[in-house]
């Protein structure tokens, strides 16, 4: 096996050599990519990041998705990749029931990287946000918008996938920050579902039952779009906040119907798992369980913080990136260039860091 070398393009060459392929046939290395919530714009942004990494590292990426988040269906898709000979697999993990099967695949020698949704029982690394901390950020932004520690009124909290650890952690962080304003009364988290139609309908029902609410906060990608539409239909009477930098979420903020959205670096969540797998295959080393922080982003109509040491951009530029995978890959190039064999081989933080 070839010696591991520094630099992403050298990693690519070493992958081909290690597997007995010429550099022009590096795509003989196949990596499977499995995601939940098929059709969701945020999940598509993660997939775009994975495709960018596959291109940079010369791998063949094969994608499989399922609607919703049934762990049984997701596990079947992962197993299909393992059975078909994929050299590595990146997958979100929408249920603890997947842990046993994933660990069996790991035991067979196929490396796996988790992204976006995780199980701490899986003996593989995870790429995602610091979930509790991101919730703290969102809650703090809402409290400040409502007037600070003297804010009063009802706040409704919604969760599209109740029970998922990452989302439950976000809720903890949001509630922790909201408690800084004792006059705020929190209802929920309520199950607001993940499909666009169901999500809007659930929020509409919740607001109809609590028209005095001063803020509505979602924990998932569809929420800001739904809340913006709902706010517009009701005279923009509440503060709306949530997650992810999708086109429609940013549109709701630009039009003044939603206040803030917290990004979780979708590009990084797609790109880094593929980079880690490429390096593991090239070096012939087992990936250690642990946490890789994708970073949090804070976007309001007045300010955009993209995190990860990236250059500042305007709100209009953020909107353009949300709709353009090629431009996004170019924008992230200063970050992707830091992913040398040395950095990708470094031990990750403990998995517990995800929920700190």
92 contacts 126 by C-beta, under 8 angstroms: no
Predicted confidence at residue 10, as pLDDT, reads 38
One pLDDT digit (tens) per residue for the chain, 356 residues: 233 553 444 344 333 323 333 232 345 899 999 999 999 999 999 999 999 999 999 999 999 999 989 999 999 999 999 999 999 999 999 999 999 999 999 999 999 999 999 999 999 999 999 999 999 999 999 999 999 999 999 999 999 999 999 999 999 999 999 999 999 999 999 999 999 999 999 999 999 999 999 999 999 999 999 999 999 999 999 999 999 999 999 999 999 999 999 999 999 999 999 999 999 998 888 899 999 999 999 999 999 999 999 999 999 999 999 999 999 999 999 999 999 999 999 999 999 999 99
A 10 A CB-CB count for 120 gives 17
CATH fold match for the domains 8-129+265-295+324-347 and 131-263:
yes
pLDDT tens, position by position, 320-350: 999 999 999 999 999 999 999 999 999 999 9
- Tokens representing 136 are 């703290």
DSSP state of 349: B
Beta bridge partners of 240: 216
Query: Which top CATH class is 8-129+265-295+324-347?
Result: alpha beta
Report the C-alpha gap between 168 and 355 in whole angstroms: 10
> What pTM was estimated for this model as a whole?
0.92
CA dihedral 118, 158, 135, 339 (to 10 degrees): 40
Query: Which top CATH class is 131-263?
Result: alpha beta
- Tokens representing 135 are 């919730």
269 contacts 49 by C-beta, under 8 angstroms: yes
Report the C-alpha gap between 93 and 95 in whole angstroms: 6
Per domain, the residue ranges of the chain are 8-129+265-295+324-347, 131-263
Checking DSSP bridges between strand 183-191 and strand 215-218, what pairing results, if any?
A: unpaired
**147 HSE (CA, 13 A, CB side):** 10
24 contacts 38 by C-beta, under 8 angstroms: no
Predicted confidence at residue 285, as pLDDT, reads 84
Let me know if 76 is exposed, middle or buried by CB neighbors in 10 A (0-12, 13-18, 19+): middle
């Amino acid at each position: 096996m070839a010696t591991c070398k520094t630099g992403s393009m050298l990693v690519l060459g070493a992958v081909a050599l290690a597997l007995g392929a010429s550099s022009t046939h590096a795509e003989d290395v196949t990596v499977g990519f499995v995601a939940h919530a098929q059709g969701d714009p945020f999940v598509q942004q993660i997939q775009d990041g994975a495709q960018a990494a596959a291109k940079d590292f010369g791998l063949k990426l094969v994608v499989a998705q399922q609607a919703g988040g049934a762990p049984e269906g997701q596990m079947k898709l992962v197993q299909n990749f393992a059975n078909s000979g994929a050299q590595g697999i990146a997958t979100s993990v929408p249920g603890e029931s997947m842990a046993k099967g994933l660990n069996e695949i790991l035991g067979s020698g196929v490396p796996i990287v988790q992204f976006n949704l995780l199980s701490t029982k899986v003996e593989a690394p995870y790429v995602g946000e610091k979930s509790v901390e991101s919730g703290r950020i969102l809650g703090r932004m809402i409290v400040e918008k409502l007037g600070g520690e003297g804010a009063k009124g009802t706040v409704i909290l919604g969760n599209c996938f109740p029970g998922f650890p990452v989302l439950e952690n976000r809720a903890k962080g949001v509630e922790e920050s909201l408690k800084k304003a004792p006059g705020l009364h929190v209802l929920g988290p309520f199950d607001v579902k993940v499909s666009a139609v169901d999500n809007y309908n659930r929020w509409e029902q919740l607001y109809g039952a609590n028209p005095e609410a001063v803020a509505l906060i979602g924990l998932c990608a569809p929420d800001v779009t739904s809340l913006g539409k709902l706010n517009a239909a009701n005279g923009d009477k509440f503060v709306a906040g949530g997650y992810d930098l999708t086109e429609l979420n940013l549109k709701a903020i630009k039009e003044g119907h939603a206040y803030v959205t917290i990004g979780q670096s979708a590009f990084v969540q797609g790109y880094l798992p593929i980079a880690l797998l490429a390096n593991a295959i090239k070096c012939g080393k087992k990936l250690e369980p642990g946490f890789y922080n994708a970073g949090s982003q804070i976007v309001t109509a007045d300010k955009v913080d993209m995190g990860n040491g990236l250059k500042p951009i305007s709100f209009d530029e953020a909107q353009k990136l949300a709709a353009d995978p090629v431009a996004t890959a170019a924008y992230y190039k200063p970050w992707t260039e830091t992913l040398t064999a040395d950095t990708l081989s470094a031990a990750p933080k403990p998995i517990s860091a995800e929920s700190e």
